[in-house]
Amino acid sequence: MNVVVCVKQIPDPAAPAALDAQSHTLVREGKLILDDSDAYGVEMGLQLAAEDGEVTLVSMAPNGEVSGLRTGLAMGAAKAILVSDGALKGSDALSTAKVLAKAIERAQPDLVIAATESTDGYTGTTPVQIAELLGMPSVTFAKKISVANGSVRVERQTEAGYDEVECPLPCVVTVTAGVVEPRYPSFKGIMAAKSKPVDQLTVADLGLDASSVGWAGAGQEITGVAAAEERGAGELVVDEGDAHERIVAFLEQLKLV
């Protein structure tokens, strides 16, 4: 089974994030890393494709960045498709889905896996938009996946517990953290990743009109950014063995005990 895993390269969440003063979009310059949320999808894909298939990573970036993709390749993905084009700058969720859907079609996967949402943009709609554009069914919020007889069986997180969902292949599945334990790339994997193919494509290569992506295709804009109301710190006490009494008194005051 061939699996496409959609991955996103994002600025290191440990580094302070910023908005571009002019365009009000996230500054995505400098080194990008593989979104932590995507490591679960890559691992899941590797396990499902282990017997008779391979994993292809699909990603897009305005600046040709590949360092995050190398992490996924080092984990064991066979190759990557990176759509890289200056025209992609400013793309919203739907235009991102249009680009990724075109790239995914090239790999002709049996299964497409994505994270439930990215860590930086967290719109959480792109995978479902991809499914609709590809004419595929989708199952979101998977906490467990297995494949048998041409269909996928998913335990889908719900408010009350989980649903067991059956869905024929090909389809799109989004995974939550914890679906599997991602492996750490081995030294051998890291070395091998350096020579694995990364197919770099432009918007035109995909047969898409540049006006349907990026700023031109976004259909939405940010009109302002303002500081949120500050929430001040209150009292700070150091526990000397009696701090629990302070908490009880605090709850009493709120009439909660």
Partner 1 sequence: MSIDKVWVLAEAADGNPVSTTLELLTKARSMAGTVEAVTWGGDAAAIAGTLGDHGATTVYDVGDLGGKLPGPVVAGAVAELIRSGNRPDVMLVPTTYDGRDIAGRLSARLDLPVLTNVVDLQVEGGEVRSQHAAFGGTQIVTARFTGDGPGIFVVRAKSFAAEASGGAAPQVQSISAPDLGATGAATIVERHVEERSGPKLDEADVVVSGGRGLGDAEHYAMVEELAKLLNGAAGASRAIVDAGWVPYSHQVGQTGKTVKPTVYIACGISGATQHLVGMKGSNNIVAINKDQEAPIFSVADLGVVGDVHKVLPKLIEALKARG
Is residue 131 within 8 A of residue 51, CB to CB? The reply is no
Closer to partner 1 by Cβ: residue 161 or 187 = 161
Contact between 27 and 47 (Cβ < 8 Å): no
Q: Is 83 left (phi over 0), alpha (psi -120 to 50) or beta?
A: beta
Query: Which residues have CB under 8 Å from 136's CB, separation 6+?
Result: 112, 170, 171, 172
C-alpha–C-alpha distance, residues 62 and 77, integer Å: 22
User: Which H or E run contains 79?
Assistant: strand 79-84
First to last CA, the chain: 57
Select 50 or 247, whichever has its Cβ closest to partner 1.
Answer: 247
Rounded to the nearest whole angstrom, what is the least distance from the CB of residue 70 to partner 1 in the complex? Answer: 22
Shortest approach of partner 1 to residue 213 CB, angstroms?
12
If the CB atoms of residues 2 and 37 are measured against partner 1, the closer one turns out to be 37
CB of 79 to partner 1, least distance (A): 26
Residue 56 or 116: which CB sits closer to partner 1? 116
Residue 79 tokens, joined: 């190759």
Smallest gap, in angstroms, from Cβ of residue 125 to partner 1?
4
In 3D, which of 172, 171, 174 has the Cα closest to residue 144?
174
Q: Nearer to partner 1 by C-beta: 52 or 228?
A: 228
Measured from the CB of residue 181, what is the shortest distance to partner 1 in angstroms? 7
Q: How far is the CB of 224 from partner 1 (least distance, A)?
A: 4
Task: Report the nearest approach of partner 1 to the CB of residue 169 (Å).
Answer: 10
Torsion on CA atoms 71, 77, 78, 82, rounded to nearest 10: -60
Q: Which residues contact 245 (CB under 8 A, 6 or more apart)?
A: none
Q: Which is nearer to partner 1, 23 or 191 (CB)?
A: 23
Q: Which is nearer to partner 1, 128 or 192 (CB)?
A: 128
- Classify residue 19 by its DSSP letter: B
- What's CA 190's distance to the chain center, in Å? 21
Amino acid 16 reads: P
